[in-house]
């Protein structure tokens, strides 16, 4: 499996790369992850099987050019800012939280499991874009996982690559099953 990880200048990108390699190797025989910066994003994506949009500072409006990623037809997974970029692409909105949650854990219920996840964000998906559904939210109703109803697109507001997330590999495996194999 060939994965393009688009780095939005986040300190967690290499952790995410390592988690992707570890998780995908358990599911597949071989994996290659290419990490390219947002400013080096290619126009064609036929060299990859999946695209991952990394976390990063700022807001989705600061990162132009993701329309081609969403329209590539490839499975797309967005993490934190990546989920917000997905949401805005489909017409949703992103607003500021009442308080920042940097390096804090939260509990979500997903696939009939209750798990602790790491949050590092001050923005959130306040309205969910067309075709997206909330697959998991925290107790305050903040969307933590969104998935497109008919396209291979999924976003996670939390950081599965953080050591504070209890079962990071579980979330990557689940994303692979849902968006790559759909």
Active-site position among 17, 125, 148, 161? 161
121 is catalytic: no
161 is a catalytic site residue:
yes
From first to last of the 182 residues of the chain, give the pLDDT tens digit: 999 999 999 899 999 999 999 988 887 668 899 999 988 999 899 999 999 999 999 999 999 999 999 999 999 999 999 999 999 999 999 999 999 999 999 999 999 999 999 999 999 999 999 999 999 999 999 999 999 999 999 999 999 999 999 999 999 999 988 888 76
Helix axes of 168-175 and 13-27: crossing angle, nearest 10 degrees: 60
The reply to whether 167 belongs to the active site is no
Give pTM, 2 decimals: 0.95
Kindly write down the DSSP assignment for every residue of 97-127, as one continuous string: EEEEEEEEEEEEEETTEEEEEEEEEEEEEEE
Domain ranges of the chain: 2-181
Q: What is the CATH number of domain 2-181?
A: 3.40.50.880
Which residue in the list 80, 89, 121, 125 is annotated as catalytic?
80
């Amino acid at each position: 499996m060939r994965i393009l990880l688009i780095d939005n200048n986040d300190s967690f990108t290499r952790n995410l790369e390592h988690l992707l390699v570890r998780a995908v190797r358990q599911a597949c025989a071989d994996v290659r992850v290419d990490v390219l910066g947002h400013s080096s994003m290619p126009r064609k994506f036929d060299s990859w099987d999946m695209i991952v949009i990394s976390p990063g500072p700022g807001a989705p409006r600061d990162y132009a050019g993701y329309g081609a990623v969403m329209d590539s037809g490839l499975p797309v997974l967005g993490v934190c800012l990546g989920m917000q970029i997905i949401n805005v692409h489909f017409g949703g909105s992103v607003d500021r939280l009442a308080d920042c949650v940097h390096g804090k854990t939260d509990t979500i219920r997903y696939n009939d499991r209750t798990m602790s996840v790491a949050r590092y964000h001050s923005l959130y998906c306040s309205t969910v874009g067309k075709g997206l559904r909330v697959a998991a939210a925290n107790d305050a109703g903040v969307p933590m996982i969104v998935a497109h109803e008919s396209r291979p697109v999924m976003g996670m507001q939390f950081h599965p690559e953080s050591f504070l997330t209890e079962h990071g590999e579980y979330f990557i495996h689940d994303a692979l099953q849902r968006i790559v194999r759909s």
